[in-house]
Amino acid sequence: MTQAIERIPFGKTGHQSSRAIFGAAALGAMKQDRADRTLELIQQWGLNHIDVAASYGEAELRLAPWLKHNRDSVFLASKTGHRTYEKAKQQIHASLERMQVDQIDLIQMHNLTQADQWETAMGPGGAMEALLEAKEQGLVRFLGVTGHGTYAPAMHMQSLEAYPFDSILVPYNYTMMQQPQYAHDFNALYEMCQARGVAMQTIKGIAARRWQDGDEEKRFSWYRPITDADAMKRAIDFVLSRENLFINTSSDATLLERSLDAIAQPTAEVDLALLAEDAQRLGAEALFVRDVSDDVIISAG
C-alpha cells in the first residue's frame, strides 16, 4: 500500500500539485510498455503533475497513450528550448501533436540562463511572443521558465521582473547550497517567488556529482545519483523541509519508487551534520560551479 504524497498549491495557478513532480525525461529512451508501467506507478503514488520537454527523446510520444485516458487527472507541463518566435511556435504545436492533447497546462522556456539567449527570447520576434500567443489561443494555460547552472537563480529573477511567470525551475540540493554565491542567489529568488506566488520546482535533489572515468555503474542520468537509501532520504528531506518547494523526480527511473517512498514520508527536521557526512562519504560535489562547470546536459531530474 503506497502512501499518498502531499499536495500543495502550484503557485497561483489554482492547481494542487503533488510535491513530487514526475520528471518525464525518465521516459525518453523507454519502450512503450515500460513507460506505461512507470506511469501506472506514479498514479499509484498520487502524482498529478508531469514535467516533460520536447527535447527529452521520445518522452512526449510515450505519454500520449496514457494521456488519452488520464489527461484530466494531471497537470501537464512541457518546454521549448528555442529562442525565436517561429521555432518556439512550431515546437509548441509539435508537442501538442506528439502528446495528442488540445492543451498543455504549462509551457516553459527551457534553460534560459545565458544573457544573449535571454535577450533573443524576450525581445522582438523572440520565443516569449510564441508563448504569449499560445496562451491567448488557449493552447497553453500558464507560462514558466527553467534553468540549470549557477546563473539560473539570478536569471530567473530577471525573467520575473520582465514578466509575471507562473513558475520557475532551478537546481537545489545540499552541495549546491554550500556555494555562497549560489546560496545567496537562490535565497533571493526564493523570497521573490514566495512574495509573488510563483511556483518553485527544484531539480537535481538526489544528484551526487558528475560521472568520472572510473565509475562502473550503469548510467541512466547524466549525473551520478545518490543511491544509498539513508543518504537519499536525507537529500530529499533537505529539499522538502523548505516550505512550498516541489521536487522533480530524477531521469533515472530505477530510483523512482525509492524516491517516492522517501518523498511520501518527509522528515521536517534536517540534520545538516549528517548531510555533510553523506557528502564526504559519497564524494558528493556541486554539479555546477560558477564559470567552471556551468555547462549541462539537459535533463529534468
Q: Which amino acid is at 49?
A: H
Supply the pLDDT for residue 138. Answer: 98
Q: What domains can be seen in the chain, in order of their start residue?
A: 10-282 (3.20.20.100)
In the block, which residue shows the cell 558528493? 284
Supply the pLDDT for residue 211. Answer: 65
Q: Give the integer Cα–Cα distance in Å for 82 and 86.
A: 9
Q: Which amino acid is at 263?
A: I
Supply the pLDDT for residue 288. Answer: 79
Supply the pLDDT for residue 1. Answer: 42
**CB–CB of 189/168 below 8 Å?**
yes
Q: Which residues pair with 176 in a beta bridge?
A: none
**CB–CB of 54/90 below 8 Å?**
no
Supply the pLDDT for residue 300. Answer: 41
**CB–CB of 149/90 below 8 Å?**
no
Supply the pLDDT for residue 238. Answer: 96
Q: What is the DSSP string of the chain?
A: -PPPPPEEE-TTSS-EEESEEEEGGGGTT--HHHHHHHHHHHHHTT--EEE--TTSTTHHHHHHHHHHHHGGGSEEEEEE---BHHHHHHHHHHHHHHHT-S-EEEEEETT---HHHHHHHHSTTBHHHHHHHHHHTTSEEEEEEE--STTHHHHHHHHHHHS--SEEEEE--TTGGGSHHHHHHHHHHHHHHHHHT-EEEEE-TTEEEE--TT--S--SSSEEEP--HHHHHHHHHHHHTSTTEEEEPPS-GGGHHHHHHHHHS--SS--HHHHHHHHHHHT---S--TTTS--------
Other CB atoms within 10 A of residue 13 CB: 18
In the block, which residue shows the cell 540549470? 148
Q: Give the integer Cα–Cα distance in Å for 261 and 263.
A: 6
Helices 59-70 and 32-44 pack at an angle, to 10 degrees, of: 50
**CB–CB of 168/187 below 8 Å?**
no
Q: Give the integer Cα–Cα distance in Å for 193 and 282.
A: 32
- For 274, list phi and psi in degrees, rounded to 5: -70, -35
Helices 256-264 and 32-44 pack at an angle, to 10 degrees, of: 10
- In tens digits, what is the pLDDT along the chain, a chain of 301 residues? 466 899 999 999 999 999 999 999 989 888 999 999 999 999 999 999 999 999 888 999 999 999 999 999 999 999 999 999 999 999 999 999 999 999 999 999 999 999 999 999 999 999 999 999 999 999 999 999 999 999 999 999 999 999 999 999 999 999 999 999 999 999 999 999 999 999 999 999 888 777 677 767 776 577 777 888 999 999 999 999 999 999 999 888 888 999 999 999 888 789 999 999 999 998 888 877 888 776 655 444 4
